[in-house]
Structure 1
Amino acid sequence: MFDFLGSIGGAIMTPLYYFTSGIVLAWHWLFEQIGMNPDGGWTWALSIVGLTLTIRAMLIPLFVKQINSSRNMQLIQPQLQELRKKYGHDRERFAQEQMKLFQETGTNPFSSCLPLLLQMPIFFALFRVIDQASRNGAEGARGFLSGAQAESLANAEWLGGRIADTFMSSEHLETKIIAMTMVIAMCATQFFTQKQLMAKNMPESALNGPFAQQQKILLYVLPVVFAVSGVAFPLGVLVYWTTSNLWTMGQQFWVIRNNPAPGTPAFKAKQERDQAKGKTVQPDPALPVETETEAQRLKRQQPKKQTRDQRRKSGSPQPKQAKPKPKPNKPAQEDPDE
């Protein structure tokens, strides 16, 4: 049974070994052509960075879909809350109405996980390529790696530590320090990327919904998961994941700054920047539209009351005082003695 499952796993991972190692070797060849040492740690580290940039560039269309879907999820939160109030007692009907709303608005609640899920096979393939090279040397070559290239990767030193070593397996203090620094950087970039999204590109109406609660859970759970598992990752894998997080942070910052979701602090900040530059300020579609013009508003406003001294100082004419009405003449009372 285990042999059967192992053969299936090998059939799935083998193409990924060739794909991952092929991109790494292409970047390695490029750096070698510009005069870098083919066995140097920086050459292999930068080749892994090149792998990261290549994969993330290929995932840009999915990232755009992720941003649009996340924005739609934020904007339909008031509608989801209404559905929950209306059909909360009937789960089946609520699920049907919710799916109908997703289809009408073109929202996919699972699209936010697509870039992460699609990177995981590359992540594990790179892990296996580096791990097998470090454990078995030339015999551990995977994909397009030759035996000599596998030994070069296993022995390459970067910043005083070997790229193929992990925090747990290495006995060198330098490697442990570098590995722990990379784990902290990996977790910090993961945390601040998610925090940036929630703080600047989520409307207030969505901060208390179930989608926001899910985001808050991921905000604190994912860094802990990566911190616990990161001590078993080779330095090369940590380089890949930290670079990927930095890419996500920069890409998300650009999208939030230039195309923020309506009704968010980022949208208001963009309006202020456009106004300062003299550009046409786009109204926030998440806010109610004011149909009353400024002239109508001023006309409707009542003048403020002023005291007599204020009117005298401002030079405004004082209202004329009404003349007292003459009292009617009372008939003379007759003298009772007459």
Structure 2
Amino acid sequence: MDDQNRNLILATVLSFVVILVWFVMFPPPEQPAEDPNAPVANVEDGTPPVADVPASPTESPTETGTDSAQTAADAPRVDISTARLSGSISLMGGRIDDLDLKDYRETIEPDSPTVTLLSPRGEAGAYYALYGWAPGSGLSFEAVPGANTVWSLESGDTLTETSPITLRWDNGEGLVFRREVSVDENYMFSIHQTVENTGAGTVSLRPYGLLARHGEPDDMMNFFILHEGVVGMADGELTEIDYDDITDFSFDQREGARAENTQVSENGWIGFTDHYWMTTLIPAANTPFAQVTKYDEQRDIYQTRTDLPTRTLAPGEQTTASSQLFAGAKEWETIRNYQNEGNVARFLDSIDWGWFFFLTKPIFAVLHWINKALVGIGLSGSMGWSIIGLTLLIKAILFPLAYKSYVSMAKMKELQPQMEKIKEEAGDDRQKLQQSMMELYKKEKVNPASGCLPILLQIPIFFSLYKVIFVTLELRHAPWIGWINDLSAPDPSSILNLFGLMPWGTPDPNSILFIFSLGVLPILLGVSMWLQQKLNPAPTDPTQKMIFAWMPWVFMFMLGTFASGLVLYWISNNTITFIQQYGIMRIQGYKPDVFGNIKRGFKRKSKADE
């Protein structure tokens, strides 16, 4: 009996402790340092770029001698209007700097503003994409289009899924630049930059794409279970860099700022990732390029950049550099399609799956397909039902192990009178007690440790589901039933106002009082754990008994502030476990009188109070 209780307590306490400390036990792994001075191969002959090609320009007043946000705001614009996007492109620099996501709102309120992803320079939290050419042999920055170049609209009037636009700029010195921009039905822009040499001399220049972010985003979670900052892929190697790590980069003289440079030989991408949104520069597949991550301390601007190979143009020649820009929501199915059908290598890894990716990826894939099936039949609150369905599937997979565990527990229940007798006979002789218990276990073919394995297996599954619910967009603002209108947020009901019967509201989620603001789901969680506990052998040791008695209510308060979807999973898991264990115990000939024990417990307590 002591071995059984000790193992069960160990497993339960381990679950409790790991949940509390897990978030500080697994910081993101350090990324290997890259050589910032490694050259980019020339597209024609594989040689390094010409010596006088400087680093690709950033948005800097030195480019044109102007640095006026008002000028940028007054520049003409081309509208963006698709089924999922709205915004505009500024003809100053040809920046994609105004973008709203039509399908997503800031809050669950129906009249809440749509999510703004990109915003122009001069506004708080300016965030935009910029494309251009770095000058090479014999060219100055004024000879190539930069951040403040005013383009003309050559074709198209509004950028839609079916109508691209083309921008044109003539430098007056023999070079004519064009930029064609198109967008698909989701969030992928295609950028084709063309330059034609109508002059008399040979020129060299290099295409680049750039994402600029003025300061850290205001809505950062600052919770390191979630990565926010730079995310990139370089020839199959994933890189995640937090904003505070970027500010610690070494100063790069060539860039004139803190910067790091990574060479990509074939496939890669780089950009900024937020909790649910992302912008990513994606050069054409099988193209060598340099990834640059940069921080301008003086102006507090973060940048990611892709420098493509240098192009050399003889008189009469032209060249085109093609790349893509993802700017939108991190929808699993959308990103998966870009990876599988659009040849964007390992694009699904832009979602932060964490260290347990081998669990989080398949768990979410199954959750997604269950939800898709339920949506197909018109079931409302489908994601909540999908979590219950996922729980059923996980319990079915673990059932063979659970079956052995529950059979062992049923036998332990049957042996409880014999174990009590052994304990009385052994008295204070611990060695004799342990030896007699082991002989009994061996004789009855009972393994007291078998009850721990299903509990221990639930720990990584619990963490993985927590990660999935926290980081994936699909659970954001996803309703279930009644008052549960966002499965990614805590249960909004509260015992402090009698679940809405009283006229006052609930404490702020950032307040310590919110811990005591138990909703319906956390209370159901505590009750389900308590009921499940009644099927297990009762500890005889007072300390063990106290720990078991308090455990359901400690978990109730601790998980009360977690996402409703996670609490729903835990309730479903407890309920299914109770049904399985109860049924198996009945099959094994033991008839647990759970509710009778509860009634007798209340009667004993009432008599004690009298």
TM range, smaller chain: 0.5 to 0.7
Paired position in structure 1 for 2:519: 180
User: Aligned pair 1:190/2:520, yes or no?
Assistant: no
Pairwise mapping of residues 42-61 of structure 1 onto structure 2 (< 5 A)? 42-61=381-400
Paired position in structure 1 for 2:59: none
Q: Of 540, 548, 551, which aligns to 1:210?
A: 540
Paired position in structure 2 for 1:227: 556
User: Aligned pair 1:15/2:352, yes or no?
Assistant: no
The 10-residue stretch of structure 1 (247-256 or 114-123) with the greater mean CA deviation from structure 2: 247-256
1:276-305, Cα deviation, whole Å (9 max, x unpaired): xxxxxxxxxxxxxxxxxxxxxxxxxxxxxx
- With over 3 angstroms needed to count, the CA separation of the structure-2 counterparts of 1:4 and 1:117, relative to structure 1, is closer
Paired position in structure 2 for 1:26: 369
User: Aligned pair 1:261/2:590, yes or no?
Assistant: yes
Amino acid at match of 1:181: V
| 8 A contact 1:166–1:232 mirrored in 2 | yes
1:41-69, Cα deviation, whole Å (9 max, x unpaired): x1211111111110111222222212221
Paired position in structure 2 for 1:165: 489
Paired position in structure 1 for 2:573: 244
Paired position in structure 1 for 2:349: none
Q: How far is the alpha carbon of 1:164 from its aligned partner?
A: 0.5
Q: How far is the alpha carbon of 1:127 from its aligned partner?
A: 0.9
| 8 A contact 2:402–2:454 mirrored in 1 | yes
Q: Give 3-state SS (helix, strand or coil) of 1:239's partner.
A: helix
More helix by share: 1
| 8 A contact 2:384–2:479 mirrored in 1 | no
| 8 A contact 2:522–2:557 mirrored in 1 | no
- With over 3 angstroms needed to count, the CA separation of the structure-2 counterparts of 1:85 and 1:243, relative to structure 1, is closer
| 8 A contact 2:407–2:585 mirrored in 1 | no
1:11 and 1:70 mapped to 2: Cα distance? 35
Paired position in structure 2 for 1:153: 475
1:115-169, Cα deviation, whole Å (9 max, x unpaired): 23222211111111222x2xxxxxxxxxxxxxxxx33321323335211012587
Paired position in structure 2 for 1:302: none
What is the aligned-residue identity percentage? 28
The 10-residue stretch of structure 1 (19-28 or 109-118) with the greater mean CA deviation from structure 2: 109-118
| 8 A contact 2:488–2:564 mirrored in 1 | yes
- With over 3 angstroms needed to count, the CA separation of the structure-2 counterparts of 1:99 and 1:5, relative to structure 1, is farther
| 8 A contact 1:63–1:115 mirrored in 2 | yes
TM-score of the superposition, structure 2-length normalised?
0.33
Q: How far is the alpha carbon of 1:219 from its aligned partner?
A: 5.2
User: Aligned pair 1:112/2:434, yes or no?
Assistant: no
TM-score of the superposition, structure 1-length normalised?
0.56
- Structure 1 residue runs of 5 or longer lacking an equivalent are 134-149, 267-338
Amino acid at match of 1:162: D
Amino acid at match of 2:557: V
1:87-119, Cα deviation, whole Å (9 max, x unpaired): 445433432342233233222223333323222
Q: Which has the higher contact order (CA 8 A, sep 6+)?
A: 1
Amino acid at match of 1:155: H
User: Aligned pair 1:91/2:434, yes or no?
Assistant: no
Paired position in structure 2 for 1:274: none
Q: How far is the alpha carbon of 1:237 from its aligned partner?
A: 0.5
| 8 A contact 1:166–1:179 mirrored in 2 | no
Amino acid at match of 2:373: L
Q: Give 3-state SS (helix, strand or coil) of 1:110's partner.
A: helix
Paired position in structure 2 for 1:80: 419
| 8 A contact 1:179–1:235 mirrored in 2 | no
Amino acid at match of 2:411: N
1:311-338, Cα deviation, whole Å (9 max, x unpaired): xxxxxxxxxxxxxxxxxxxxxxxxxxxx
Amino acid at match of 2:475: L
Amino acid at match of 1:236: G
Paired position in structure 2 for 1:273: none
2:29 and 2:562 mapped to 1: Cα distance? 24
